[in-house]
Structure 1
């Protein structure tokens, strides 16, 4: 299959897209620039649609038929493009009957000459077919009227491009983007046609219709990205009326010149009858606004305007309106209604104030309650030790009772200590101060603190940690992590069990594991153990109780030190908890692996 079939399908699709653009322009036909742009695209539809069938035609008569359809649009493309440029660059006054009639002269001659070419051959001297491409390609010998049409098109293309370039140089950065898209898009059909007509590069087929595809892409980008067509000068009045923000225009003597519908709805005293009256009479019910108008600040100000029924809040932007010589000829007031956002902000501030007061009260109460419980418990522990010593001196034996009382007091003390640690971590009271620590020494220190509990259950604790392994962590946090994991292992390991602590060194971290031969973690608990913020606490093998905050604290403190924590467990076969901790920044893996 020859490539002309694919080109024909592509051009048909492009023509359909152009028809859609023409329909959108027709819906906006109240804007003159939409009319000129839509007619320009319609000329491209005739050209593209006709050429799609021309390149798949097999006879000279068929090709002539489609060529006539193409020339329903070709002669007028430049005309409508130039009118659109005049409107876009603010020269709408030039688009009158005389100018349009003058511009129409050459396109009409081209149109008539093409359709009567068999009578005079002034447009095409000859028309033949070339089969070298595998399909019939029309070869034309151009006549003088053809070149007249070409010169006309490019003269006005140059003039229009100069207008666009001048507009580009004067406009703001945002408008420059729109003008640039207009310029680039315009080069589509004209640039492609120039390559074809000049024979700079051998082209067996006319590539000009493909230029409309290129042009359509950039124009559509400009229309939907920047709303390009609505920036035409004659559309300004419609934009002015459709603005949701209130706009009021005064002269230099503060007399009303113009306003939009939103301003009339906002300021009840505005009406067409008030045009020409001084601002003092119009804004007498709005003294704050009147004060701003008289003094004319050059910055956005937040003003409350009191009306007859409601309180309204506006951001007021005020500026001078300058003429072409940049001399002020009037004043423009832009009122942006921010009533809803101001009221929401006031409500949020009030809620924040109340929450801050409640949070401060809660902090004070928590500290008071926690310390009021902690101090008596510390005294009770001391008293229990004295009672034990006195009862031993007297030879009385109440071991079971004393052990139970001591265990309950100790559990309560541990609960308060955990609550205080957790509370300090939540309110930012714990300061993170990482230091270099000997891992083996830290673990042995915490093992000694828990030796009473492990010996009571006859649990053997083994350590498999090389000497000289240093980590970089906060001392208090690291101790709490080790202490909690060891405490949990002791709690859930039955009598005569064992616990093994290991450490493995990698390039920049140490992985510590605490393995026990305890009960293991049930599957329903394992899925949410390190996921919940406040997990429930289970009873140990000797009935030990906990507050359930130990693993929560471990997770938070491990993450604060730049590590991770996880576990492996099988019911009735024990559990292994792992956590990583960084090595000192100055150390390297070579120290441990050498």
Structure 2
């Protein structure tokens, strides 16, 4: 028995190995790389099967028949391998129908030329039988189309190996084993063919089919050892890069091993080149809290850290965990930063809401005290006056004018208190909706002057509005009425008999400054220092004994702020006061004063 029989058995084993790989690929056909690799193994199985029977054939016709079986797969093997390499290295975008069709041009020419060689002899010039080994072997003189096929195959092979080598140098240590198996396995058929075609060893047997056995062993090892076809290394890298959470990998010496795109956006010091391999204490020197978490022992499970970004500060949950090998020995650390800014801001809003609710609750308690004192007292006076009035009516039918006037003042003060309470509760409970529109300031001021005419006339106070018609402002009408009414009411309250009140407006840089000045008693220095700082100032009695609830200026300050303005005042004790507030002008409309101003006074 000649050695060709043993070689045939070995080639049959290679064929079985290739078919097993084809079966494994079929089971995982949902993975694109499994399809291209399986088709490549199928082309190799045709080659090894045909050559197994070729070397045991007894005549030229049998050899030519098995050559045709071999060339069902030989022309297309390199193209399938090239597609697999493109998928493995993350260049799937190149695998399009036009590209695949272009790659198939030379293989189709090779396939057709081999099957029609008897007509043109461009693939094999001559074919003869050699019996020098004790069994018939075909001797082929290659033609130009055979040379085209060989050059084309090795050009694709060189390109594919270049891509794999580039991938090897860019990959992490853990992934290089996979890539090494891919490179070694790919060299099998091509390396053996180079040895055969170069004539380094004067062997009559073609070694190329045996390369498929060599490749099959390496690829099977890679499939079962590293799940070679389950997920390509570059796919893992893309998953890592596409993670929204920032991930930083450290080695056992706390050196930067790797980080994803999200980490470079969170930690600006990871953006420059050459950071890989540097100590984390150097790279994260500007992040002391992160360094503390990384270097502390044992590693922290989770911590919340605020990190300043390019545009604003963000909050991150930081999780540090050990990375262990199969023997549970630590080989590094993984730092994971999850953005929790929205959660933190929501918590802050909830705390603010809780604080506001607390303030409202405090206001409610104080308001009960106000109601107990400021409402009870005038009502008690009313009751006493009514009793006196009843007694006087019984004993004396004279005019009760003085008692009736005092009752009127007390009733009016009580009404003012209730009205202020209602305004305040509406503002605090959301009953007053902010709806700014364009208003004529002159009209608003005159309307409120008329509403307070009875009070001003009662004290013979002259109220002058120096605001022309058509002076437009942009504000909430209901809030604006309340602001002007409160300021004007306070001016009347603290102005003595026969005094003066003047209301003016002046345009300044897109806003209107409205002033309400009086000739009253002014504000004492101690009270002026805290008047607009207190949330619930204590009410003072007016020049005619008027009482208030102490909420007027608080409401004015809040409503002016909501309309985008400010409230302030100037006062000299015993010389009068002037309260100012700013209000926006309408968008794209200037605040114009007419030359002819309107002055209206009320005495």
- Please indicate, yes or no, whether the TM-score normalized by the shorter chain is above 0.5: no
Q: Which has the higher contact order (CA 8 A, sep 6+)?
A: 2
Q: Could you say which structure has the larger radius of gyration?
A: 2
The TM-score range, normalised by the shorter chain, is 0.3 to 0.5
Q: TM-score, normalised by structure 1?
A: 0.43
